[in-house]
Amino acid sequence: MSGWRIAFNRTIFVITAALCITIPLITLDYSVDRVLPPDLFYALCVSWIIRQDKTADMPLVIIMALLADFVLMRPVGLGALLILVTTEIARNNARVLRDQGFILEWLAVSIGFGLMMLVQNLLLTFAFANRVALSDIGQISLSTILCYPFMSAFLYYVLRIRHGAGRLRINRLGRVA
């Protein structure tokens, strides 16, 4: 992948992440039992890193995760920490997740999100801060899991975030260029 293409994709990542942080702010219903939005930022980061980890670097992820913490009224630093750890695990296992097929990737990402929310609640308990209700965790987890395939399809087909695109080209003689 050429240098300008990497820079372009990094810019796209930042813009898409900013959109994913803003979209949950839109609502007309401010009641307690409103439908909670999915964690689009998590779905974006993990799906992007599994497909093209080069263009979603660790510093970019941490900056946007901290922005999400501040804007979405999350416990500052904690959300970013968990996103960082989860994305690093995804980055280290990206090849395996890609090769196993989408269903297994989806399952792994779903388990990862559930664990992330539970660890967050545990750390909030240790810090004597307000915890998130288990029903809310269930609702957010479900919507995030359901939106993950759409996010992956959007990245793959619309933004064309694909692994090794333009790098492993096979020529007419069957050789890898």
Partner 1 sequence: MAGENSTASSWKFLRRLVLGLFVALCLALFLLWRIDNPRVERFRMALIDRFVPSMGWMLTPVTSVTRMLDDYRSYDQIYQQNLELRRELQRMEVWREAASQLEQKNAELRALNNLRLNPSLAYVAGELMADSGGPYSQSGLLNIGLIDGVADGQAVVDGNGLIGRVAGVGENTSRLLFLTDTSSQVPVHIPNARQHGILTGDNSENPLLQFASDPDEVATGMRVVTSGDGGVFPSDILVGEVVRGVDGRLRVLLVADYRNAEFLRVLRDASDDMGIEPGGVVGDIPPPLPELDATLPAEAPVQ
Footprint of partner 1 (CB under 8 A): 18-19, 21-34, 36-37, 58-59, 62, 66-67, 70-78, 80-81, 84-85, 88, 123, 127-130, 132-133, 136, 140
Least separation, in Å, of the C-beta of 70 and partner 1?
Answer: 5
* Closer residue to partner 1 in complex, CB, 12/62: 62
Least separation, in Å, of the C-beta of 92 and partner 1?
Answer: 10
For residue 23, the 8-state DSSP code is: G
Q: What is the CA radius of gyration of the chain?
A: 17
* Closer residue to partner 1 in complex, CB, 57/102: 57
* Closer residue to partner 1 in complex, CB, 56/140: 140
Closest CA to 143 of 43, 17, 29, 13: 43
* Closer residue to partner 1 in complex, CB, 6/67: 67
Buried-state track 73-99, b at ≥16 Cβ within 10 A, e below 16: ebbeebbbbbbbebbeebbeebeebee
Tokens describing residue 175: 């050789």
Q: What are phi and psi of 170, to 5 degrees?
A: -100, 125
End-to-end CA distance of the chain: 13
* Closer residue to partner 1 in complex, CB, 124/165: 124
Tokens describing residue 101: 């097929």
Least separation, in Å, of the C-beta of 159 and partner 1?
Answer: 17
Q: How many CA atoms lie within 13 A of 82 on its CB side?
A: 23
Least separation, in Å, of the C-beta of 166 and partner 1?
Answer: 23
Least separation, in Å, of the C-beta of 103 and partner 1?
Answer: 28
Q: Hey, which residues does 170 pair with through a beta bridge?
A: 176
